[in-house]
């Protein structure tokens, strides 16, 4: 699997995940846009952002091929969770071919943490038979832990004028 930020403007952050070998991939059925919890129970794509301001707070964005999404803020590692306000919903789409799948998401920048940020891109991939794999830019524990700040190995520089 591959994940990367395609582009970032003052208006939108565009992110893409590519999955190779999709013959057994479980794609959640279309549900229409809207906030939903526990999207990670099946195929789901995630973005974590931790502002580089010295605090342990970070944000998590879950994006589903069903077009459902979730956004949370944490005050510290896996604690102090609250829903992040999102007035304009992310735009998500998935294309599945014979050999690869592409999941694209566009998130409104105005509702996201201010750069500079450390980022983590990750995914839960479910295959037929309930088989799940957990993908991230980096894993630092024996068990996958997308919330581990050491997994936030990407970086977004300041993108707006001060």
Asked whether the beta carbons of 47 and 58 are under 8 A apart, the reply is no
Per-residue pLDDT of the chain in tens (162 residues, 90 and over written 9): 899 999 988 899 999 999 999 999 999 999 999 999 999 999 999 999 999 988 999 999 999 999 999 999 999 999 999 999 888 999 999 999 999 999 999 999 998 998 889 999 999 999 999 999 999 988 888 888 999 988 898 888 754 443
In a domain, 23, yes or no: yes
Which pLDDT score is estimated for 160? 45
In whole angstroms, give the CA distance from residue 110 to residue 67: 20
From residue 148, alpha-carbon distances to 19, 24, 61, 85 in Å are 23, 29, 15, 23
Query: Is residue 81 situated within a structural domain?
Result: yes
Domain count for the chain, please give it.
1
CATH code for the domain of 23 = 2.60.40.1190
Give domain status of residue 72, yes or no: yes
In a domain? residue 162 = no
Asked whether residue 161 is assigned to any structural domain, the reply reads no
Residue ranges making up the domain that contains 100? 2-156
CA distance 82 to 53: 20
Give the per-residue pLDDT at 158.
Answer: 58
Is residue 107 in some structural domain?
yes
């Amino acid at each position: 699997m591959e994940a990367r930020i395609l582009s970032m403007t003052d208006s939108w952050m565009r992110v893409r995940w590519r999955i190779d070998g999709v013959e057994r991939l479980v794609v959640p059925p279309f549900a229409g846009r809207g906030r939903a919890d526990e999207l990670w129970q099946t195929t789901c794509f995630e973005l974590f952002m931790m502002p580089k301001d010295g605090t342990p707070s970070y944000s998590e964005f879950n994006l589903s091929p069903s077009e459902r999404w979730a956004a949370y803020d944490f005050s510290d590692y896996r604690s102090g969770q609250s829903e992040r306000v999102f007035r304009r919903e992310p735009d998500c789409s998935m294309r599945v071919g014979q050999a690869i799948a592409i999941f694209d998401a566009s998130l409104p920048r105005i509702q996201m943490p201010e750069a500079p940020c450390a980022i983590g891109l990750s995914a839960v991939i479910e295959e037929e038979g309930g088989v799940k794999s957990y993908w991230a830019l980096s894993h630092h524990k024996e068990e996958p832990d997308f919330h581990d700040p050491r997994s936030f190995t990407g970086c977004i520089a300041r993108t707006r004028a001060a």
